[in-house]
Structure 1
Amino acid sequence: MNQIAAVIGGLQQKINHGSTFIQRKYNEIGQAKFNFPEPVTASSLAAFEAEFNQKLPSEYQTFLELHDGADLFILDDGLGLVLHSLDQVIEATNEAIEYELIHEEFDHYWVIGEINEGYLLINREFAKTEDTPYMYWVFHELSTEEADPIGQNFGTFLEYSIIAQGDVFWEFKNFSIEKDNYFVDEETQEEKVKPPISIRFVDSVRVEIEYPVSETYSYFTISIYEGKFEQEKLGMRYNEGRGFEKVIQSVRDHLSYEQYHFSSIRVFQREPLLRANEDQSEHLLTRNQNPQQQGLRYDGYRAFADQLPRPLPGWE
């Protein structure tokens, strides 16, 4: 396995475990979002080479052959690391040339993404041999004349960006007490740092969904237990009467609250022990001889969100 595949695979394993709550500098915290598209197509690679008469640097192309772009560590403010698809790279680069953000006569860059209110660039001249670090970055408001060198090629940049949780790691060394007043007295600071959100790490959560006695009486009962495995305590219980999809959405909303972290999620569905006769003018309850049941276990919230439970047969 190559370095790029190993780094991306490690991140995906972390996400699948549900470890998506992050903290960046200035106390920017929250549940991060991720997106990994399909690999780049051969036609997109051919279109790129025809457009710029130049091949991509090998590490960057290796990444695209795994995923044609990616959204990494995106918080609610929209900031994080966005890597464009190759078609978007062509569009963004030509647009930057058109608006003279890239001065084509003496500046040669590709715009491959965005991070922290700035454009992520590849210096085309340096990328021809890969002997010189070719990754650059520039604020949205500036032209590439003022681009800052990151000092790395794509593979190392990607790995360090993941370690830094989508932040501009190459600027960390520049922060100082003298220049930035990073920590200041609360009485004199103009903009206060956000207080931390209290996170509850819960070993296990068990969701029990009891189906209604009939389709006309459509209230599901949802019970959510939290705590150590096989020692969970009831956290909440409520009725939901808007269909199974709404039931699962309400469960998902509860489990996605940013102050929670679950290492294990179990979902148990069961039909009622008593069923109502739908053909009678009055609902007569009779014993359900063979109530359906289903149990599912997920390794963290992300696994649950990626493959949500489906209704029991006959309740679609």
Structure 2
Amino acid sequence: MNQIAVVLDGLKQKISHGSTFIQRSYNSIGQATFHLPKPVKPETLQAFQTEFKQPLPSEYQTFLELHDGAKLFMLGDEGLVLYPLEEVIEKTIEAKEDGLIDEDYDHYWIIGEVNEGYLLIHTEHAKTENTPYMYWKYHEGSTEDTDAIGQNFGTFLERSIIAQGDMYWEFNIFDVREDDYYVEEETEQVQAGVSIASEERVRIEIEYPIYRRGGFIVSFYTYENGKPDLWWRSDYDTMKQVHRSLVSTLKELRFHFTEITVFQKEAPLWESEDASGEQIAKRVEHPQTQIMQYDGYQAFVNDLPRPLPGWEKA
């Protein structure tokens, strides 16, 4: 598991244990909400590189391949917001047109926001992994005036999680001899939050081999706007491997309370060998189909999809 995945897995464990009541600077407290959407689509990654003629920094791309953006430690409308990549493209183009990205300082992508300011990636610094490229600026003004955060995306994400979405890079700026740090006596009551948004439904299709020594094809779909959206597709040699892969995927927090539908289909064509060893195709008159419904992850684990009749040893 890569470092970005480890950091996010730790956050999900924290949330699953109910650790969502947070306290930030200036006594900003309440029950935080979180949202981690599905991975970025490959065509969006390609669209980004086509638009800006530069690949994403590896740590940031790794994050997007796990979750296309995020809303973390949200108290109302405030918290750490990382835009979906399509929004990064749109906001960066708009910022250049509106002068938010200054023409003399035209080397930034806008990737999110926190505490009344934008999170930026310095495109020139991002060309090497050894140069810190994360920056921040207030919503007002232009990129002529930005603050260096001093890290790359992976460290920024980890420290932001440790700081509960606060601007940790400013913690050491305060000086009691010069600054007046105060805490409001009254704090706004924030309604109880919810855990990470989960997928409501998933659809799994298991296509059986064209002959018993072949491989199983598994297609895993989530739903977008009520329509199945292919997330991944893989080949497996045995049903045991199929079960292991699906259990591993479905144990993620986002799937724990989802409706799971499994469609198992026999290939409509068989192949066998004649005396000469030549392959002979034979159409199956009535291919077997089996549909199973599950109410959540645990129900799936307790009653794994059974092989179609005649495939028990497959």
Shared fold, TM over 0.5: yes
Partner of 2:180: 181
Question: For 1:17-32, what aligned pairs fall within 5 Å after superposition?
Answer: 17-32=17-32
Q: 2:186 aligns with which of 194, 218, 222?
A: 194
Partner of 2:159: 160
Q: Displacement of 1:90 after TM fit?
A: 0.2
Partner of 2:265: none
Is contact 1:123–1:135 with CA below 8 Å preserved after alignment? yes
Q: Structure 2: which amino acid aligns with 1:178?
A: R
Is contact 1:107–1:145 with CA below 8 Å preserved after alignment? no
Structure 1 residues 210-251: Cα deviation after superposition (integer angstroms, max 9, x where no partner): xxxxxxxxxxxxxxxxxxxxxxxxxxxxxxxxxxxxxxxxxx
Partner of 1:144: 143
| Distance (Å, rounded) in 2 between the aligned partners of 1:10 and 1:36 | 13
| Distance (Å, rounded) in 1 between the aligned partners of 2:144 and 2:104 | 12
Is contact 1:109–1:124 with CA below 8 Å preserved after alignment? yes
Question: For 1:1-316, what aligned pairs fall within 5 Å after superposition?
Answer: 1-75=1-75, 77-183=76-182, 192-194=184-186, 256=192, 307=257
The share of aligned pairs that are identical, in percent, is 62
Q: Displacement of 1:182 after TM fit?
A: 1.3
1:61–1:257 CA distance, 2 compared to 1 (3 A) = closer
Is contact 1:137–1:149 with CA below 8 Å preserved after alignment? yes
Is contact 2:4–2:154 with CA below 8 Å preserved after alignment? yes
SS in 2 for 1:173: coil
Q: Displacement of 1:183 after TM fit?
A: 4.6
Is contact 2:35–2:71 with CA below 8 Å preserved after alignment? yes
| Distance (Å, rounded) in 2 between the aligned partners of 1:174 and 1:52 | 34
Partner of 1:313: none
Partner of 1:240: none
1:52–1:73 CA distance, 2 compared to 1 (3 A) = same
SS in 2 for 1:5: helix
Q: Displacement of 1:194 after TM fit?
A: 3.0
SS in 2 for 1:145: coil
Tell me the matched-pair count: 201
Is contact 2:37–2:69 with CA below 8 Å preserved after alignment? yes
Q: Structure 1: which amino acid aligns with 2:106?
A: D
SS in 1 for 2:177: helix
| Distance (Å, rounded) in 2 between the aligned partners of 1:86 and 1:257 | 26
**Unaligned segments of structure 1, at least 5 residues:** 185-191, 198-252, 259-302, 311-316
**Unaligned segments of structure 2, at least 5 residues:** 195-252, 259-294, 296-314
1:43–1:257 CA distance, 2 compared to 1 (3 A) = closer
Q: Displacement of 1:195 after TM fit?
A: 5.7
**What's the RMSD between the two structures over aligned residues?**
2.6
SS in 2 for 1:45: helix
| Distance (Å, rounded) in 1 between the aligned partners of 2:121 and 2:188 | 36
1:183–1:111 CA distance, 2 compared to 1 (3 A) = closer
Q: Displacement of 1:177 after TM fit?
A: 1.7
SS in 2 for 1:178: coil
Q: Displacement of 1:107 after TM fit?
A: 2.6
